[in-house]
Every structure is written in structure tokens, then in C-alpha cells.
Amino acid sequence: GNSVTQMEGPVTLSEEAFLTINCTYTATGYPSLFWYVQYPGEGLQLLLKATKADDKGSNKGFEATYRKETTSFHLEKGSVQVSDSAVYFCALSDRGRGSTLGRLYFGRGTQLTVWP
């Protein structure tokens, strides 16, 4: 079956530090991969995505590369800011049946706290 495993938190960093949050997946077929971010008291927002192997998704200084050979989609940022403090979720989407969209499978989330 489909599943996503991401590193457990919490992750605590100082401002301008390098961030990596690991994510690996198990899937049949060729899923799309996503990172979502949830700020306190809000719903999840799409941060970035990649739809095929070797694609790199990027947004707001965050990057993740779809690695089919290692079934991974690690999130990275070169220099984090206090405003990046949030919970980050890795997710995959299967292809669904016919013209319908598939389901999304989420990891458990990683809490990131950035101190000034």
C-alpha cells in the first residue's frame, strides 16, 4: 500500500541554520509528492510539489527533489527564518481511477521551531 514516513520532531534550529526534514515513501505506480505547511491555528497550505522522478519542487527558499531510486522527497532550506516555524507534512498522491484524482497520504508531520 501507499504510505509516507517522515522524520519525527520536534526540530529546533537557530535563525539562518540549514534545514533538512527527511521523507521517504512507499507507493505503487508513479505518485506525485508534496510538502504542506501548517502555521499555528490554520489549515494546511501547499508548499511545493513534484510530479515525476528527478523533478525539483521549490518555493519560498524551500526545495525538495523527487528521488525514485531512494523513494525519498527530503525538504531542505539553506537559511531558515523565525517565520518558518510551523508543522511540515510530506504527502503523496496516487493516480486514482480513470479521470478521478487519487487519494493523498500524509506523514505524521514535523514540528519546526526557529529561534532568533
Residues that bind another protein (CB under 8 A): 34, 36, 42-46, 49, 89, 96-97, 100-101, 103-104, 106-109
Measured from the CB atom, the residue of 17 and 44 that comes closer to another protein is 44
In the bound state with another protein, the residue whose beta carbon lies nearer, of 17 and 63, is 63
The CB-of-110 to another protein minimum distance in angstroms stands at 10
Q: How far is the CB of 16 from another protein (least distance, A)?
A: 29
Minimum CB distance to another protein, residue 80 (Å): 22
CB of 101 to another protein, least distance (A): 5
CB nearer to another protein: give 80 or 89.
89
In order, the DSSP letters of 15-43 are: TT--EEE-EEEE-SS--EEEEEEE-TTS-
Q: Residue holding cell 527533489?
A: 65
Give the residue among 79, 76, 86 at the shortest CA–CA distance from 23: 76
